[in-house]
Structure formats: C-alpha cells, structure tokens
Amino acid sequence: MAGKGKLVTQTVKLGIKYGPQIWVATQALRAPAKEAVNKAISSERARRLAMEHATSLTDGSILKVYKGDSAHWLVFDGDQPVAVHPETDMPLDTLAAGADLTRRIRPQDKLSATDRARDAAATALRRGKPNQIN
C-alpha cells in the first residue's frame, strides 16, 4: 500500500513531539479518575447493603440521599427511617427531611443497573440537565 511508510513516519514524529505531554496529562488525570471510580463502587456497595437490610424488614425500602457530595442510602421500615448506609453522624430524620419519599426503591422491584441508569437519565432530562445524571 502506498503511503503506509509516510503514515508510520508521521505517527512516530507526533509520538516523539507530544508523547511526554500525553504522559504527564495521564499521570495528572489518574488520581481524579481513580477517586471517581472508587466513589461509584462504594456507593454501589452501600446500596447493596441497604437493600439487604431492607429485605430483612417487614415493609422495607431504600432511598438515595446526599450529605454534601457523598451519597447515602436510607433504609425505611414503612415510612420510618431506621438506618443509613454508609454510616454517618447526621440524624436519620435530618437526612430524610428534604427527600422525596415517593422515589423509594423496594426489594421486590428488582431493578437492574441498566434500569437505574435509565431512570437517572430520565430524571435528569425532566429537570432540564441532559448532561448531568444524579
């Protein structure tokens, strides 16, 4: 094929020219990316613990609430909050004060991760924020 050598030569030249800058950028962006992934994993772990707890209750349900920039999962027995995952020092009633209790998830709902992502995207669109998902 004609031009293959020229393509390789151009790629090597660009790699030599911009390679160090790309390396520095990847090193600088590694920590925030790792932090975001760890935050998502810990939120999912807390959701699973809350769902297990809600399953053990008579009329259990869970609700995602925020304290600052961290997500917490409130566990309800009926309409009364009984626990929070992960643990926090804030009283349960204070966490549940401004929350929309109609958005609670019950263990029998069996929502998959895809369903939860679709619901979050739909909520973001309704609020007029298509690029921001809660």
- pLDDT by 10s per residue, the chain, length 134: 567 889 999 999 998 999 899 888 888 889 899 998 998 899 889 999 999 999 999 899 999 998 888 889 999 998 899 999 999 888 988 888 888 888 888 888 766 778 777 877 877 777 665 554 44
Alpha helices in the chain (DSSP H): 4-55, 92-96, 113-126
Q: Is residue 92 part of a domain?
A: yes
Give CA angle at 15 (13, 21), nearest 5°: 125
Q: What pTM was estimated for this model as a whole?
A: 0.65
Number of structural domains, the chain?
A: 1
pLDDT at 129: 57
Q: Is residue 126 part of a domain?
A: no
Q: Is residue 109 part of a domain?
A: no
